[in-house]
Amino acid sequence: MRPAFSVIFLTTLIGAGQGLFLALYGVEIGAYFDLIVPAPARFFVGGCMLSVTLLAAGLAASFFHLGHPERAWRSAAMWRTSWLSREVIVLPAFIAAVLGYGAAHYFAWDASGWVGAISLVLCVALFVCTGMIYACLRFLQEWHTPLTLINLFLLGVASGLTLAAAFATYAAGELAEPLGVAAVIATALALVTRVAVLARNARIRPTSNLQTAIGIKHPRIAQKSQGLMGGSFNTREFFHGRGVRFVRAVKWIFLLLAFPLPALLVGIGLAQNAPSLLVHAFIVQYLGLLAERWYFFAQARHPQNLYYQVIS
């Protein structure tokens, strides 16, 4: 598949925003049960503003993927059957809920816990909707697995916790260490599931072949041309157009930037009490997640490419 950078930014930005909210609400729940020190209001208010900024930026990025942005409202019409339509509905609702959660802490409302619980439900629903957009596609074997949803969730949680740890160094210093430790653990879990996906996809045997692609059962078929003098919509939209070496390099880049390097920076930053290293950890991890999402799309082999193999 051809990676669309608007969708890459959408999934990575809202994932980080969701993970950041989960970190905020986790701190409140942990403090309620005396498992962690209470955080000041500025931590929740500032964190919610940061989360909303990421979510809104992701929503804005999605408009660049539309041929007619003025008709974006129609994308919610098929909510009964389309995971994309459900995502379009849940995302603005989640943004509104996070704004309400931040307002509850700003005005010291007693209902902050309930507002957070509603936001939590919407957060999980958004993860499910976004993940199922890809996991429900049976013809893309690389995506059609529960690991797609699990990995999307863990990547969002890991990046959100890393950002929360960096933010805590400025808004609630006593929370930087527990959030940093949680970020390293989440990053390690995300690495395990991502490697599991890579191992699974490496063993996939395509269910389609050249014979089924064109409806001819002859055992020996050799394609010489796709029948056109140049490219077409199919060759542009369903193939990334990069060589094997480039794709392999992107894989190793995201495996380094998204997982071990940010975890190392978080560890050093906590050990040396260096807030800037935690900020750099999030930046590095986010860049790695951009590469990871590019690879996620590029690795998916659309069956139509069995027919459009040669441009001539």
Examine residue 93 and state whether it is found in any structural domain, yes or no: yes
pLDDT in tens, 154-163: 999 999 999 9
Q: How many CB atoms lie within 10 A of CB 306?
A: 17
- pLDDT of 166 strictly over 80: yes
Which stretches of the chain are DSSP H helices? 5-32, 41-63, 83-106, 112-135, 146-171, 176-202, 210-214, 233-237, 244-257, 260-271, 275-299
Examine residue 41 and state whether it is found in any structural domain, yes or no: yes
pLDDT in tens, 196-231: 999 999 998 877 777 776 778 888 877 666 655 566
Residues 6+ apart with CB under 8 A from 55: 13, 14, 17, 18, 91, 94, 95, 98
By CB atoms closer than 10 A (0-12, 13-18, 19+), residue 11 is buried
Average pLDDT over residues 16-41: 95
Contact 89, 76 (CB under 8 A): yes
Examine residue 213 and state whether it is found in any structural domain, yes or no: no
Number of domains in the chain: 1
Examine residue 136 and state whether it is found in any structural domain, yes or no: yes
Examine residue 66 and state whether it is found in any structural domain, yes or no: yes
**Residue 179 sits in a domain of what CATH number?**
1.20.1630.10
How confident is residue 309, by pLDDT bands cut at 50, 70 and 90?
Answer: low
Residue from 29, 35, 301, 45 nearest 172 by CA: 45
Mutual orientation of helices 176-202 and 275-299 as an angle, nearest 10°? 20
Examine residue 212 and state whether it is found in any structural domain, yes or no: no
User: What is residue 42's predicted lDDT score, i.e. its pLDDT?
Assistant: 95
- pLDDT of 312 strictly over 50: no
Examine residue 311 and state whether it is found in any structural domain, yes or no: no
Domain boundaries, position 140: 5-207+220-306
Contact 269, 285 (CB under 8 A): no
Token pair belonging to 27 = 């701190």
Rg value, the chain, Cα: 22
Measured at the CA of 95, the angle between CA 130 and CA 16, to 5 degrees, comes to 55
Token pair belonging to 40 = 């000041």
Residue at token pair 């429900």: 136
Question: How many angstroms separate the Cα of 275 from the Cα of each of 169, 170, 266?
Answer: 6, 8, 9
**Three-state DSSP state, 13:** helix
Examine residue 64 and state whether it is found in any structural domain, yes or no: yes
